[in-house]
């Protein structure tokens, strides 16, 4: 009846995984992609960003070497060389994705896929039918519509700048903005980060947000809250950013990292009857099924947890559900994450505010200290760790860290949190000495409960 058993719109991480697994189960599969294979993560996201983070951190490493007896000679940074090497690595990964799809027997179709009904898509002038369709087209950066916004760049273009800006304004308060503030500062640029709210990284634990703001400010990032750009203009080769309060800032580049929107415009969702929410995201159930019985959606286009490993889990689950007689759904509980800021954040489970709302009585364990490495470097950088424990069950329901290798450390801690480990079990675990990570199994003193608000108690913002 159909050209394919499974047609995948988008060859990002979630779409590629779904296509490969479905083909492995014996399905006839095609995937359409209008850009490079691998989606946002491989091309303009996680992978190239992490490479730039590595590059930026060498500035700290050169400075820190002196405390350990090293004399480091003159150092120079070559942006063009970094970008060229990054591009070569991304091309290698694009090739690997193609080999994986070819090896699985998946047909790759170049172009933008658009739904025409529940079982049909068009790619260019060609039409294809499929029993099941997966929408995995991801998201796209959003730039506010202000005068001169066309002079700014987004997180897509930043990876292809021909030269590194010496002065850059980064607008936004999410993890992308924070990460690029650290990247450009580490590479030697003058960085101003603007966020319209009172504290960035909304959704993260409040103590984590405040700690990172302090560390970034100490390093020299001009971090401004309750600040936003009203208009942009160009003058003498420089950009002029007029803030809403009237102040004018000059920079060589203005980058917006103010969120990403699902790419659901003009892909035929209305024609096929697929429901979206007020943010344009595709509405799905626990099995990633849309309002149309045979159409599924995974990844950023659904705006659930917009992380590559989550999209991969969702895509795999869809393939198993449809073609392996094994109804599966991705587990979105206790998903660990990292922000590759400088210093980086690692997090799993609930924030303190979320835990208090869910469990009521919780115990908080926190520690802030100078890591052993910096006892010789003299760097004024503090590592921060926090455990959140449900008092009734003694289960650790949240774990947060800021410091070197936070993502690597939290990945291991996430297993324990996922398995329902208790604080007593953390305490019974022998630490590895001397490491930063051992602090998580040696936290003993509970943080005092916050005082109840009353006539003599003024809340601190």
Residues classed as catalytic = 433
Cβ contacts of 190 within 8 Å, gap of 6 or more? 166, 167, 168, 222
Q: What is the spatial distance between Cα 312 and Cα 319, in angstroms, rounded to a whole number?
A: 11
CA 385 to chain centroid, in Å, comes to 20
Do 445 and 380 touch, CB atoms closer than 8 A? no
Cis peptide bond upstream of 434, omega within 30: yes
Q: What is the spatial distance between Cα 403 and Cα 385, in angstroms, rounded to a whole number?
A: 8
Read off the tokens for 106.
């998946």
Please give the span between the terminal C-alpha atoms of the chain, in angstroms, as a whole number: 62
**Closest to 286 (Cα-Cα) out of 333, 321, 330:** 330
Q: What is the spatial distance between Cα 121 and Cα 338, in angstroms, rounded to a whole number?
A: 37
Distances (CA, A) of 311 to 2, 260, 379, 461: 26, 16, 38, 36
DSSP state of 320: H
**Residue 32: which H helix or E strand, with range?**
strand 29-33
Q: What is the spatial distance between Cα 9 and Cα 32, in angstroms, rounded to a whole number?
A: 5
DSSP state of 12: B
Degrees to nearest 5, angle at CA 77 with 76 and 79: 155
């Amino acid at each position: 009846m159909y050209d394919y058993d499974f047609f995948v719109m988008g060859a990002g991480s979630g779409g590629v995984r779904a296509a490969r697994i479905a083909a492995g189960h014996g399905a006839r599969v095609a995937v359409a992609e209008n850009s490079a294979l691998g989606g946002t993560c491989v091309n303009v996201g996680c992978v190239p960003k992490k490479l730039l983070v590595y590059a930026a951190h060498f500035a700290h490493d050169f400075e820190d070497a002196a405390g350990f007896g090293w004399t480091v000679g003159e150092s120079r940074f070559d942006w063009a060389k970094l970008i060229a090497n990054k591009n070569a690595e991304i091309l290698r990964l694009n090739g690997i994705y193609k080999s994986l799809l070819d090896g699985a027997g998946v047909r790759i179709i170049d172009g933008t896929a658009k739904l025409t009904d529940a079982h049909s898509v068009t790619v260019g002038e060609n039409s294809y039918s499929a029993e099941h369709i997966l929408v995995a087209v991801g998201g796209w950066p959003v730039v506010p519509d202000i005068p001169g916004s066309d002079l700014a760049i987004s997180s897509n273009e930043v990876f292809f700048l021909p030269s590194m800006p010496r002065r850059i304004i980064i607008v936004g308060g999410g993890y992308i903005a924070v990460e690029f503030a650290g990247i450009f500062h580490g590479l030697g640029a003058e960085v101003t980060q603007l966020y319209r709210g009172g504290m960035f990284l909304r959704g993260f634990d409040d103590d984590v947000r405040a700690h990172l703001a302090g560390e970034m400010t100490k390093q020299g990032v001009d971090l401004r809250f309750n600040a936003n750009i009203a208009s942009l203009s160009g003058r003498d080769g420089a950009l002029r950013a007029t803030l809403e309060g009237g102040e004018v800032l000059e920079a060589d580049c203005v980058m917006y990292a103010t969120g990403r929107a699902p790419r659901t415009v003009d892909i035929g969702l209305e024609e096929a009857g697929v429901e979206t929410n007020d943010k344009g995201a595709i509405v799905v159930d626990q099995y990633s099924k849309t309002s149309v019985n045979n159409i599924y959606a995974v990844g950023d286009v659904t705006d659930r947890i917009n992380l590559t490993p989550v999209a991969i889990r969702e895509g795999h689950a869809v393939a198993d559900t449809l073609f392996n007689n094994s109804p599966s759904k991705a587990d979105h509980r206790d998903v660990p994450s990292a922000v590759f800021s400088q210093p980086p954040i690692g997090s799993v489970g609930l924030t303190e505010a979320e835990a208090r709302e869910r469990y009521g009585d919780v115990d908080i364990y926190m520690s802030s200290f100078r890591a052993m490495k910096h006892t010789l470097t003299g760097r004024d950088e503090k590592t921060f760790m926090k455990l959140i424990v449900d008092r009734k069950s003694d289960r650790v329901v949240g774990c947060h860290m800021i410091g070197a290798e936070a993502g690597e450390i939290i990945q291991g801690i996430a297993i324990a949190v996922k398995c329902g480990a208790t604080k007593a079990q953390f305490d019974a675990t022998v630490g590895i000495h001397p490491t930063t990570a051992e602090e998580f199994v040696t936290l003993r003193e509970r943080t005092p409960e916050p005082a109840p608000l009353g006539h003599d108690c003024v809340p601190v913002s």
